[in-house]
Chain A
Amino acid sequence: MKKDIFKISNEILKSRLIVGTGKYRSLKETAAAVKVSGASMVTVAVRRVNILDKKKPSLTDYLNPKKIKYLPNTAGCFTANDSLRTLRLAREMGGWKMVKLEVLGDKKTLYPDMLETLKATKVLVKEGFKVLVYSSDDPLLAKELEYLGASAVMPLASPIGSGQGIQNKINLSIIIKNAKVPIIVDAGIGTPSDATIAMELGCDGVLVNSAIAKAKNPILMAESFKNAVVSGRQSFTAGRMKKLFYANASTPSTGLI
């Protein structure tokens, strides 16, 4: 069988599970969950250094950016300009070209502002960034991001941090069928079974944060997600049976007494 390789732009990732590093109880727990998840890439945010707190431990003390790939994200940005500023600073800090663009449009739903997202994508691609773009689950906009040069498109399953799972399988399936770049489901995954469904639909990967960080036992949940993503991918690759309307006996009737 051909080896199943997950590649974004020219970057090969060992795991199809990408995890976020927010919302954990401590940095120690973050590091432990990331390790167990098997993820080779994590999302990180860019924020002001607390100049008064000199002892505050930093994320890089717990997650070595030389060992695990940092994917700087623009969480909290509501305009194209804010997100560009954030990612330029991130590039200066780490020298990474691969980034996640997320331009929010509404505080309540954290739904992406796609007009600003398209604008920012265009500029980032021109500046040489490899952009993974958080997107609505609109098939036409997903395709537009691909045309603009996005390295991957990341449609939401449901609102960020809601844990509502995949709410529009049809749109997601259309996006996957049309895509020539990796499709990574981002936002809204609540349980490992949601991740499995995303992978069975044919997604190339999933990004999970809250569902692991907010679990009662994040470390065990991280392992469950690891298995769920592998399982979903295997299922997709194996190809599911055809659905039948009526029953079809599993045991042959020949030789029946």
Chain B
Amino acid sequence: MTRIQLNGRKLELNGRHSLATLLKKYKINDKKIAVELNGKIINQNKYKLIYIKNMDKIEIVHFIGGG
């Protein structure tokens, strides 16, 4: 069990997850987002290589309408 904080929400993940599988789990298109892991921006081509650890804080953002 991996406890993480995703977009401000506390979650528990079963099994081993990379950033790529996490995005897949939540059906998020990785072309339209940016990911920050513990305050550090992660390059898109590293999503498959980085595995999620206990207590990780992840932010997934996208563009929305704004002024």
Contact A89 B65 (CB under 8 A): no
- How far, in angstroms, from A70 to B33 measured CA to CA in the complex? 14
Contact B67 A49 (CB under 8 A): no
User: How would you classify the secondary structure of chain B's contact residues: helix, strand, loop or mixed?
Assistant: strand
Contact A47 B64 (CB under 8 A): yes
Which size class do A's interface residues fall under?
35 or more
Chain A residues near B10 (CB-CB < 8 A): none
Q: Which one of A53-61, A170-178, A243-251 is at the B interface? A: A53-61
- How far, in angstroms, from A161 to B32 measured CA to CA in the complex? 28
Interface string of B25-67 (1 = CB under 8 A from A): 0111000111010000101100000000000000111111111
Q: Which residue of chain B lies nearest to A73 when distances are taken between CB atoms in the complex? A: B66
Interface string of A141-166 (1 = CB under 8 A from B): 00000000000000000001100000
Contact of A89 among B6, B32, B61 (CB under 8 A): B61
Q: Which one of A9-17, A23-31, A120-128, A221-229 is at the B interface? A: A23-31
Contact A22 B66 (CB under 8 A): yes
Contact A161 B62 (CB under 8 A): no
Q: Is B8 an interface residue (CB 8 A)?
A: yes
Which size class do B's interface residues fall under?
20 to 34
A87, chain B: closest CB distance, angstroms: 11
User: How would you classify the secondary structure of chain A's contact residues: helix, strand, loop or mixed?
Assistant: mixed
A22, chain B: closest CB distance, angstroms: 4
- How far, in angstroms, from A209 to B28 measured CA to CA in the complex? 28
Q: Which one of A38-46, A193-201, A230-238 is at the B interface? A: A38-46
Question: Could you tell me which A residues sit within 8 Å of B by CB distance?
Answer: 20-24, 27, 30, 43-49, 51, 54, 58-60, 65, 70, 72-73, 75, 85, 88-90, 92-94, 160-161, 207, 209-210
Question: Could you tell me which B residues sit within 8 Å of A by CB distance?
Answer: 6-9, 26-28, 32-34, 36, 41, 43-44, 59-67
6 contacts between A and B (CB under 8 A): A20-B66, A22-B66, A44-B66, A92-B44, A93-B32, A209-B67
